[in-house]
Amino acid sequence: MLTNNKNVLNWVDEMVALCKPDQVVWIDGSEAQLNALREKSLASGELEKLNEEKLPGCYLHRTIPNDVARVEARTFICSRKEEDAGPTNNWCDPKEMYAKLTPMYDGVMKGRTMYVIPYSMGPIGSPLAKVGVELTDSIYVVLNMDIMTRMGKDAFANLGDTSNDFVRGLHSKADIDPENRYIVHFPEDNTIWSINSGYGGNVLLGKKCFALRIASYQGKNEGWMAEHMLILGIENPQGEVKYITAAFPSACGKTNLAMLVPPEVYAKQGYKVWCVGDDIAWLKPGEDGRLYAINPENGFFGVAPGTNEKSNPNALHSAMRDTIFTNVVHNLDDNTVWWEGLDKNPPANAVDWLGQPWNGKESTEKGAHPNSRFTAPARNCPCISSEFNNPKGVPVSAMIFGGRRAKTAPLVYQSFNWNHGVFVGSTMASETTAAATGAVGVVRRDPMAMLPFCGYHMGDYFKHWLEMGEKLGDKAPKIFNVNWFRTDDEGHFIWPGFGDNMRVLMWILDRCDGKADAVETAIGYEPKPEDINTDGLNIDLDVIKGLLNVDASLWKEEAKGIHEFYAKFGDRLPEELNKQLAALEKRLG
């Protein structure tokens, strides 16, 4: 046993009695124990060892073809009252859900080992960190949780011997049966149950399940925030670092921004960019009244396709050692991995993500699954921040929302104040691209990029944001919106994106420091076109003016869409947001 905490021990005993494993192994996080588990996985074929010279400590894993992504239709928030889950979540009465799932778990681990995984979300000993315990019958889960969290006996340090404040996670692969696949959250019980999946997003219960769905509910009750946000620091030539958090829906370049490589114009002057987190931020007011952020995770669960030396060299280099690759191509010639978008040289002698022989030079079929992944330790990242393990977190100067809009949203604007910023975040949207199924150009609202991850009623979530603003007062971060995806009439992107997005971040930080002017528009404060640094870019001032143009007719359409979206939340929508919408319409004339 790694703890004397009776709450933990009693719960583990109950779950052992339910699942009936042949044996129970407590995971202490030691390298000896982990190596034994790796050897066991290699023997069973669950993992394959990759080239030790080229990819030291790296392994390949394949999931079953019916189990390759998060399943939102099978993800539930089981609050005691239906209205507390809200219109954007699947709800079921907790009593009913426990009654449905308990028989599925009954004896599910017979003939298997139950692994007891204690883990800390956030640095061990941090006042912002929280403890979880995941019970699983999957070695793959143990090895991934080792990368993604601070796993092992030290995780119990924050809990002590008496506290009951830990998240109870129960996972079984069972039969990997999609018809009986459930990822279920019981926010009032601090509990997550996942069954019939082996895919990371459904089974690494520290990730979206705890760090966002359960933690967002905890944050509302305890006065902090769990957000689907990256955290990055920009260091100026004098060595001062300012921190930014940013929320983007998928396919908007979030990881690329988190690990941004400064363009030459800034690199030559001595500017540096540091990654604190690529996906999730926990935010809490510090002793000085400012908002501080930690990354609750300890690794990156990145999408492989499209990651390459140009798009995201830092992510690629993070995955060069001690990484688990899932559902990518196995290059048999040198025992390495490959995926679409890595380079222009698909291997001729390979095995695809389904385990079938694959000749990438001749095949028209994709070799890697579009949602194939790498689980890589954050410590590998060349630009990981020295503050990554700071128990206090980092002070946040600016918060950014963004989406993919062809014409409506300008390159960047600042909200008038915190409440207006909450309005901007609550109306965040992206237009569907060809990559998503269905029609192209349909506006999909994804408030704060939290639509699939908010563990309670989204109207109450907006209210919590407004209350946090009151609490922070004039020390609140400034809120901005960006759009890297404006297109010309032929559909080509106008802004270069990638590292050049730093040019926009620099204006944002200048605004936070009171060093840059702005122009007031109907939607917020915009930069003067000449205040966006274009040195070294082949872009003239008129193009920047176009990128900042606010088309009132498009925004009037946008306002109609916001009315429709807000109607979903009924009387749980804070009145302040209706006022903000009315004020926008008035400014648009």
- If one counts every other C-beta atom within 10 angstroms of the C-beta of residue 15, the result is 21
Find out whether 159 and 132 touch, Cβ atoms under 8 Å.
no
At 442, the amino acid letter reads V
* Residue with token string 């688990």: 324
H/E segment holding residue 330: strand 329-331
Find out whether 12 and 25 touch, Cβ atoms under 8 Å.
no
DSSP-derived letter for residue 538 is: S
d(CA 548, CA 499): 19
d(CA 122, CA 130): 7
Find out whether 448 and 428 touch, Cβ atoms under 8 Å.
yes
Q: Give me the phi and psi of 435, to 5 degrees please.
A: -65, -30
From the DSSP assignment, how many helices (H) and strands (E) are in the chain? 16, 31
Q: Give me the phi and psi of 77, to 5 degrees please.
A: -110, 110
- If one counts every other C-beta atom within 10 angstroms of the C-beta of residue 291, the result is 26
d(CA 234, CA 502): 9
Find out whether 396 and 291 touch, Cβ atoms under 8 Å.
yes
Find out whether 352 and 368 touch, Cβ atoms under 8 Å.
yes
Dihedral, CA atoms, 281, 282, 288, 289, nearest 10 degrees?
A: 100
Active-site residue 381, yes or no?
Answer: no
Residues ≥6 apart with Cβ < 8 Å to 183? 70, 71, 74, 75, 76, 192, 193, 194, 197, 202, 209
Nearest to 186 by CA among 456, 5, 452, 451: 456
H/E segment holding residue 272: strand 272-277
Q: Coil, strand, or helix at residue 414?
A: strand
d(CA 523, CA 585): 10
As beta bridge partners, residue 116 has: 26, 135
Nearest to 183 by CA among 63, 87, 89: 89
Nearest to 253 by CA among 447, 384, 403: 403
Helices 6-19 and 94-105, axial angle in degrees (round to 10): 60
d(CA 406, CA 389): 38
Q: Give me the phi and psi of 211, to 5 degrees please.
A: -65, -20
Q: Which of 19, 58, 252, 275 is catalytic?
A: 252
Find out whether 225 and 232 touch, Cβ atoms under 8 Å.
no
Burial class (CB in 10 A: 0-12, 13-18, 19+), 236: middle
Total residue length of the chain? 589
Tell me which residues are annotated as active site.
252
